Amino acid sequence: MSLKFRGVDFIGFDALLTDDELLVRDTSRKFIEDNLIPIIEECNRAGRFPRELVKPMADLGFFGASLKGYGCAGMSNVEYGLVMQEMERGDSGVRSFVSVQSALVMYPIYAFGSDEQKQTWLPALQSGEKLGCFGLTEPDFGSNPGGMRTRARKVGKEYVLNGEKMWITSGSIANVAVIWAKVEDEDNKIRGFLVETDRPGFKAEDIHGKWSLRASVTSGLSMQDVHIPESNLLPKSGGLKSPLMCLNQARYGIAWGALGAAMSCYDCALQYSILRKQFHDKPIASHQLVQEKLTWMINEITKAQLLVLQVGRLKDKDKAGAQHISMAKRNNVWMALECARKSRDILGANGVADEYPLMRHMMNLESVKTYEGTHDIHTLIIGQSVTGIDAF
Amino acid sequence: MKILVCMKQVPQKDAPLKLNESGTWIREDVSYEVNEPDAYALEEALRQKEKHGGEVVVITSGPARSQQVLREALAKGADRAIHLEDNAFVGLDALNTARAFAAAVKEEQFDLIFTGLQSDDYGYAQTGVVLAELLGWPHATIIMHIEKNDAGIRVKRELEAGFFQFVDMPLPAVLTIQSGINKLRYATLIGIKQAKNKPLRKVAMADVQSALSTNLQKIERLYVPQKTKQTQFLEGPAAEIAKKLVDKLRNEVRVL
């Protein structure tokens, strides 16, 4: 039995959104309902990325939606966030793919790239004709990317790249990788490079056996003496700050996305609890312990909505700090994971099967809690912000 | 071709409905959406325009909230919109709604006017037909397909029991469009942005008031059907029970 999503709005949240924002959300919702929901459980079982959705998503303008020009829609941050919410209401893996394409590939080219790089890549990435991935994390450097071992060496008019990247979303399906490496001739400063994935020495191998984000591709990248022209350096990138700026974009989208996953879980559990009868033919929604769980969820979802909306409004005014985005990501992913667990509880054994989306969301959210700055790392970013003392 | 599409905002199909105090309609605080057949009418108009060129104009009547229907249509590709904006439009019957539309577009020269086959809320299926009568245009209902030719158009109508009818019509004409005849497009994110710059003309109740009269049709009472369950025990000898049972099945339940 599948339960159709009905949206979640406890305190008239929709009244805080403009007509355009509502239209963006409803259009995205309908697209996901029509195109992703019918196939997502099959994709998740098979560990298959629904590549057939790339073109339709591109046609609607989902890639690089918040960038201006190059065929991009020029959405506000709140509008972009609502798209992410609806995507992840479908599936965190598919949302991750869109986040990477938009915030981690198109954004750095947009922010740090040359005009030529922008002209070459942005329209192709927007239209889904080309796909991208983002190589920052390494096997030995996750929370501490500054320790990375990947190196770029200038040889004549080329750079030669060597190193390993790990946990790279879309790695093996990407046409271009945004690779972060320390430049030996520049005092080991971290800079970004565009590496076409068909260059000799570049290899991407998928990570198998994932219990999470099964509908997206996750790979390890290896680069052995990969030669790229010097024009592939992202000229305006410089220092760890550059990749962190990209992560800020992505983390912001994740904060909205997690909200979508939470809504999916809550709405499913709510509908189920009214239909499911136990003890004297009464719906389990009439039981106090079930009501407590539902109340907890709607309470946290409502707070999370307000939090991320305010961060979005700040971001639209260019006033959102990293600490604000950290709070939204940290809080919303945590609360979404809790919602997945509580919803699964309410559905009992039914919650374990993939007839319902709960276990899928729960397992996906374990990754979402970990990537783009773990929950704990965001704790330290907020701690640093309020105390002024760095605890890393 | 210049095509006008009449669209309506209706309560969402899945939304739980609550009746208003007087029990004559539903409460305002529900979620709304585009009337489904109207969405197909818009899609058909956009496709005709893509084939033959021209302009697609959308029109609706209703309070401020109903503007969302027009915004969505503009985002999908309609060129401009007309909003008859007033709470009072909600309560108009089909005749007066058609009169209001006719009055609002009397300066325009359309080749075709599309409406959805019927609205998902009132379900009158009359507004389009009445509008044709008011304009003195021919009309055809339950349209499945439209083909332009030299003389005008050839349309395919859905009849009952799997039968279809083909009708040749001159232009201008009014067509009421059946749901499901095409595949609806989504508004693109760029389309939503561009919709902001498209013209939207507002028409006040006062502008069309002189064309209207009192409603000829009104809803007296709306109610949720009462679910009742009664158990009766038939007693006596078997033959007598069987007789009573047959009588009940034939005359009360009427299944025999």
pLDDT digits (tens, 9 = 90+) for A219-278: 999 999 999 999 999 999 999 999 999 999 999 999 999 999 999 999 999 999 999 999
- Residue in the structure block whose two tokens are 């040749």: B168
Core vs surface per residue B222-254: b (16+ CB within 10 A) or e: eeeeeeeeeeeeeeeeeeeeeeeeeeeeeeeee
Q: Would A5 be classed as within a structural domain?
A: no
Mutation for testing the B interface, residue in A2, A14, A19 having most B CBs under 10 Å: A19
Q: Would B239 be classed as within a structural domain?
A: no
Last residue of one domain, picked from the residues A101, A126, A151 = A126
Distance from CA of A237 to the nearest CA of B (A): 29
Which residue in chain A is spatially nearest to B196 when comparing CA positions?
A20
Q: Would B243 be classed as within a structural domain?
A: no
Joined together, the tokens standing for residue B19 give 């009746």
Give yes or no for residue A1 having a pLDDT over 60: no
The values of phi and psi at residue A389, to 5°, are -115, 130
Q: Is the dihedral of CA A347, A349, A355, A360 positive or negative?
A: positive
Range A167-192 average pLDDT: 96
Q: Is the dihedral of CA A362, A363, A364, A368 positive or negative?
A: positive
Distance from CA of B64 to the nearest CA of A (A): 11
A19/B68 touch (CB, cutoff 8 Å), yes or no: yes
Provide the percentage of residues in chain A whose pLDDT is more than 70.
Answer: 99
Q: Would A149 be classed as within a structural domain?
A: yes
B192/A83 touch (CB, cutoff 8 Å), yes or no: no
Give yes or no for residue B235 having a pLDDT over 70: yes
Kindly indicate the confidence band of residue B224, based on its pLDDT and cuts at 50, 70 and 90: confident
Collect all residues with Cβ–Cβ distance below 8 Å to A266 and sequence separation of at least 6. Answer: A8, A294, A297, A298, A301, A339, A343
Task: Give the pLDDT score at A212.
Answer: 97
Do A263 and A381 belong together in one domain? yes
- CATH number for the domain harbouring residue B153: 3.40.50.620
Q: How many domains does chain A have?
A: 3
Q: Shortest CB distance from A24 goes to which of B67, B68, B192?
A: B192
The residue among B59 and A1 whose pLDDT is bigger is B59
* Cβ-based neighbour number of residue B88 at 10 Å: 15
A20/B187 touch (CB, cutoff 8 Å), yes or no: no
Comparing C-alpha atoms, which of A261, A241, A227, A83 is closest to residue A159? A227
- CATH number for the domain harbouring residue A322: 1.20.140.10
Q: Would B225 be classed as within a structural domain?
A: no
- CATH number for the domain harbouring residue A60: 1.10.540.10
Task: Map residue A130 onto helix, strand or coil.
Answer: coil
Task: Give the pLDDT score at A106.
Answer: 97
Task: Give the pLDDT score at B23.
Answer: 87
Contacts of A31 in chain B (CB under 8 A): 186
Q: Would B231 be classed as within a structural domain?
A: no
The values of phi and psi at residue A71, to 5°, are 85, 0
Q: Would B249 be classed as within a structural domain?
A: no
User: CA–CA separation, B193 vs B249, rounded Å?
Assistant: 62
For residues B59 and B82, the answer to whether their CB atoms sit within 8 Å is yes
Contacts of B78 in chain A (CB under 8 A): none
Q: Would B224 be classed as within a structural domain?
A: no
Residue B6's domain comprises: 2-211
Give yes or no for residue B229 having a pLDDT over 90: no
Over the stretch B145-193, which tens digit does the pLDDT of each residue have?
999 999 999 999 999 999 999 999 999 999 999 999 999 999 999 999 9
Comparing C-alpha atoms, which of A235, A234, A203, A233 is closest to residue A219? A203
Provide the percentage of residues in chain B whose pLDDT is more than 90.
Answer: 79
Which residue in chain B is spatially nearest to A23 when comparing CA positions?
B72
Do A182 and A71 belong together in one domain? no
Q: Would A223 be classed as within a structural domain?
A: yes
Range A351-375 average pLDDT: 96
Strands A68-69 and B55-62: unpaired
Q: How many domains does chain B have?
A: 1
Do A368 and A322 belong together in one domain? yes
Residues within 8 A of A (CB atoms), B 62-101 only: 67-68, 71-72, 75
Q: Would A7 be classed as within a structural domain?
A: no
Last residue of one domain, picked from the residues A126, A148, A175 = A126
Do A122 and A136 belong together in one domain? no
Do A109 and A245 belong together in one domain? no
Q: Would A328 be classed as within a structural domain?
A: yes
Do A246 and A217 belong together in one domain? no
Q: Would A112 be classed as within a structural domain?
A: yes
Q: Would A2 be classed as within a structural domain?
A: no
Strands A202-206 and A218-229: antiparallel
Do A171 and A57 belong together in one domain? no
- Residue in the structure block whose two tokens are 């971001």: A315
Which residue in chain A is spatially nearest to B68 when comparing CA positions?
A19
Task: Give the pLDDT score at B57.
Answer: 98
pTM of the model: 0.89
The residue among A392 and B212 whose pLDDT is bigger is B212
Q: Shortest CB distance from B186 goes to which of A4, A31, A83?
A: A31
Do A98 and A31 belong together in one domain? yes
Mutation for testing the B interface, residue in A4, A5, A22, A26 having most B CBs under 10 Å: A26
Give yes or no for residue A172 having a pLDDT over 70: yes
Kindly indicate the confidence band of residue A118, based on its pLDDT and cuts at 50, 70 and 90: very high
Contacts of A270 in chain B (CB under 8 A): none
User: CA–CA separation, A258 vs A325, rounded Å?
Assistant: 13
- Dihedral, CA of residue A347, residue A350, residue A354 and residue A358, to nearest 10: 10
Q: Shortest CB distance from B193 goes to which of A22, A62, A74?
A: A74
Q: What's the one-letter identity of residue A295?
A: T
Do A63 and A183 belong together in one domain? no
Task: Give the pLDDT score at A52.
Answer: 97
Contacts of B71 in chain A (CB under 8 A): 19-20, 23
Do A122 and A142 belong together in one domain? no
A24/B68 touch (CB, cutoff 8 Å), yes or no: no
Question: % helix / strand / coil in chain A, to the nearest 5?
Answer: 55, 15, 25
Distance from CA of A4 to the nearest CA of B (A): 9
Residue A228's domain comprises: 132-232
Q: Would A253 be classed as within a structural domain?
A: yes
Over the stretch B65-83, which tens digit does the pLDDT of each residue have?
999 999 999 999 999 999 9
Distance from CA of B86 to the nearest CA of A (A): 18
B192/A30 touch (CB, cutoff 8 Å), yes or no: no
Active site residues of A: 372
Over the stretch A372-391, which tens digit does the pLDDT of each residue have?
999 999 999 999 999 999 99
Contacts of A60 in chain B (CB under 8 A): 186, 188-189
Q: Is B8 on the interface with A (CB under 8 A)?
A: no
Rounded to whole angstroms, what are the CA distances from A327 to A46, A96, A298, A311, A383?
34, 19, 19, 9, 10
Last residue of one domain, picked from the residues A162, A197, A232 = A232
Task: Give the pLDDT score at B24.
Answer: 86
Q: Would B200 be classed as within a structural domain?
A: yes
Average pLDDT, chain A: 96
The residue among B230 and A368 whose pLDDT is bigger is A368
User: CA–CA separation, A336 vs B133, rounded Å?
Assistant: 56
Do A295 and A359 belong together in one domain? yes
Which residue in chain A is spatially nearest to B32 when comparing CA positions?
A26
Give yes or no for residue A75 having a pLDDT over 90: yes
Contacts of A73 in chain B (CB under 8 A): 188-190, 192-193
Q: Would B236 be classed as within a structural domain?
A: no
DSSP notation for chain B: -EEEEE--EEE-TTSPP-B-TTSSSB-S-S-EEE-HHHHHHHHHHHHHHHHH--EEEEEEEESGGGHHHHHHHHHHT--EEEEEE-GGGGG--HHHHHHHHHHHTTT---SEEEEESS-SSS----HHHHHHHHHT--EEEEEEEEEE-SSSEEEEEE-STT-EEEEEE-SSEEEEEPTTSSPPPPPPHHHHHHHTTS-EEEE-HHHHGGG----S-------PPPP--------S-HHHHHHHHHHHHHHTS---
Collect all residues with Cβ–Cβ distance below 8 Å to B75 and sequence separation of at least 6. Answer: A23, A27, B187, B188, B191, B192, B194, B195
Do A337 and A256 belong together in one domain? yes
Classify residue A207 by its DSSP letter.
P
Q: Shortest CB distance from B189 goes to which of A6, A24, A30?
A: A24
Give yes or no for residue A350 having a pLDDT over 90: yes
* Cβ-based neighbour number of residue A116 at 10 Å: 9
